[in-house]
Structure 1
Amino acid sequence: MTEKLLNHLAEGPASAPPLLLGPSLGTSYALWDQVAPELSVGHRVVRWDLPGHGGSPAALISPGASVSDLADQVIALADALGVDRFAYAGVSLGGAVGLDLAVRHPERVSSLAVICSSAHFGGAEPWRERAERVRRDGLEWLLPSANARWFAGDFTVERLIRDHAEADPAAYAACCDALAAFDLRERLGEIGAPTLLIAGRQDPATPPAHLREIADAVPGAALVEIPGASHLAPAQCPEAVLTALRAHFGQGARRGMAVRREVLGDAHVDRAQARQTPFTARFQDFISRYAWGEIWTDPTLSRRERSMITLTALVAHGHYDELAMHVRAARRNGLTPEEIGAVLLQAAVYCGVPAANSAFATAQRVLAEEEDGAREG
Structure 2
Amino acid sequence: MNLLNHRAEGPASAQPLLLGPSLGTSYALWDKVAPELSITHRVVRWDLPGHGGSAADLIAEGATVGDLARLVLALADSLGIERFGYAGVSLGGAVGLYLAVHHPQRVGSLAVICSSAHFNGAKPWQERAALVRREGLAGLAENAPARWFTSGFTVPELVQNHRDADPAAYAACCDALAAFDLRDRLTEISSPTLLIAGREDPATPPPHLREIADAVPGAALVEIPGASHLAPAQCPGAVLTALRAHFGESVKRGMEVRREVLGDPHVDRAQARQTAFTARFQDFISRYAWGEIWTDPTLSRRERSMITLTALVAHGHYDELAMHVRAARRNGLTPEEIGAVLLQTAVYCGVPAANSAFATAQRVLAEEEG
Tell me the alpha carbon deviations over residues 213-257 of structure 1, each in whole angstroms, 9 at most, x when there is no partner. Answer: 222222322111011211111112122112212222233223321
In structure 2, relative to structure 1, the CA distance for the partners of 1:182 and 1:370 (3 Å cut) is closer
Could you say which residue in structure 2 is the equivalent of 1:304? 306
1:94 counterpart SS class: helix
Q: 1:55 aligns with which of 49, 53, 56?
A: 53
1:153 CA drift (Å):
3.9
Q: Return the alpha-carbon distance in structure 1 between the equivalents of residues 24 and 44 of structure 2.
A: 19
Q: Return the alpha-carbon distance in structure 2 between the equivalents of residues 8 and 165 of structure 1.
A: 20
Q: Return the alpha-carbon distance in structure 2 between the equivalents of residues 328 and 186 of structure 1.
A: 42
Could you say which residue in structure 2 is the equivalent of 1:70? 68
TM-score (norm 1): 0.82
Question: Quick check: 2:305–2:324 contact (8 Å CA) kept in 1?
Answer: no
Could you say which residue in structure 2 is the equivalent of 1:176? 174
2:222 counterpart SS class: strand
In structure 2, relative to structure 1, the CA distance for the partners of 1:56 and 1:162 (3 Å cut) is same
Q: Return the alpha-carbon distance in structure 2 between the equivalents of residues 281 and 151 of structure 1.
A: 42
1:273 CA drift (Å):
3.8
In structure 2, relative to structure 1, the CA distance for the partners of 1:50 and 1:336 (3 Å cut) is same
Amino acid at match of 1:170: A
Question: Quick check: 2:198–2:231 contact (8 Å CA) kept in 1?
Answer: yes
1:21 counterpart SS class: strand
1:161 CA drift (Å):
2.0
Amino acid at match of 2:32: Q
The equivalences for 1:274-289 within 5 A come to 282-289=280-287
Amino acid at match of 1:306: T
The equivalences for 1:48-197 within 5 A come to 48-197=46-195
In structure 2, relative to structure 1, the CA distance for the partners of 1:350 and 1:139 (3 Å cut) is same
Amino acid at match of 2:243: L
* Larger mean Cα displacement after TM superposition, 295-304 or 26-35: 295-304
In structure 2, relative to structure 1, the CA distance for the partners of 1:195 and 1:341 (3 Å cut) is closer
Could you say which residue in structure 2 is the equivalent of 1:198? 196
Question: Quick check: 2:108–2:292 contact (8 Å CA) kept in 1?
Answer: no
The equivalences for 1:308-323 within 5 A come to 308-310=310-312, 313=315, 315=317
Question: Quick check: 2:22–2:91 contact (8 Å CA) kept in 1?
Answer: yes
Q: 2:39 aligns with which of 38, 41, 47?
A: 41
Q: Return the alpha-carbon distance in structure 2 between the equivalents of residues 97 and 236 of structure 1.
A: 22
1:262 counterpart SS class: helix
1:13 counterpart SS class: coil
1:314 CA drift (Å):
6.2
Report % sequence identity.
73
Question: Quick check: 1:16–1:290 contact (8 Å CA) kept in 2?
Answer: no
* Larger mean Cα displacement after TM superposition, 304-313 or 323-332: 323-332
Could you say which residue in structure 2 is the equivalent of 1:218? 216
Question: Quick check: 1:30–1:160 contact (8 Å CA) kept in 2?
Answer: yes
Question: Quick check: 1:95–1:117 contact (8 Å CA) kept in 2?
Answer: yes
1:302 counterpart SS class: helix
Q: Return the alpha-carbon distance in structure 1 between the equivalents of residues 200 and 281 of structure 2.
A: 40
Question: Quick check: 2:195–2:219 contact (8 Å CA) kept in 1?
Answer: yes
1:122 CA drift (Å):
2.4
* Larger mean Cα displacement after TM superposition, 271-280 or 134-143: 271-280
1:24 matched to 2:22:
yes
2:17 counterpart SS class: strand
1:114 CA drift (Å):
0.9
* Larger mean Cα displacement after TM superposition, 107-116 or 198-207: 107-116
The answer for unaligned runs of 5 or more in structure 1 is none
* Larger mean Cα displacement after TM superposition, 68-77 or 326-335: 326-335
Largest Rg, 1 or 2: 1
Tell me the alpha carbon deviations over residues 61-88 of structure 1, each in whole angstroms, 9 at most, x when there is no partner. Answer: 1122222221222222233333333322
Question: Quick check: 1:308–1:330 contact (8 Å CA) kept in 2?
Answer: no
1:275 CA drift (Å):
5.7
Question: Quick check: 1:296–1:303 contact (8 Å CA) kept in 2?
Answer: no
Question: Quick check: 1:304–1:335 contact (8 Å CA) kept in 2?
Answer: no
Tell me the alpha carbon deviations over residues 292-351 of structure 1, each in whole angstroms, 9 at most, x when there is no partner. Answer: 223444556521331342365464xxx96x67655644654547599599779x689579
Q: Return the alpha-carbon distance in structure 2 between the equivalents of residues 330 and 13 of structure 1.
A: 34
1:172 CA drift (Å):
0.8
1:6 matched to 2:4:
yes
1:258 counterpart SS class: helix
1:51 CA drift (Å):
0.5
Could you say which residue in structure 1 is the equivalent of 2:242? 244
